[in-house]
Amino acid sequence: MDKQFLYIITGLPYSGKTTLKTEMMRRFGYPTVSVDEYLSKGNYIVEEMTQKDWD
């Protein structure tokens, strides 16, 4: 059975997170999920979200 890994990329603004994500996608074909993109498409306001929204 192949091992599966979850890579979580965090960091300060302009620290290279998107560059790293893009390079990992290009080199290894990894799928990605962007929390910022997900939240912006759902018109969520993080400060007003309840636990139900996060579930």
Give one DSSP letter per residue of 34-52, joined into a string.
-HHHHHHHTT--GGG--HH
* Structure tokens belonging to residue 53: 């929204």
CA distance 39 to 46: 8
- The per-residue pLDDT for 33 is 84
25 Rama sector, left if φ>0, alpha if ψ -120 to 50, beta otherwise: alpha
- pLDDT tens sequence across 1-55: 688 888 999 999 999 998 999 999 999 998 888 877 877 777 777 777 788 877 7
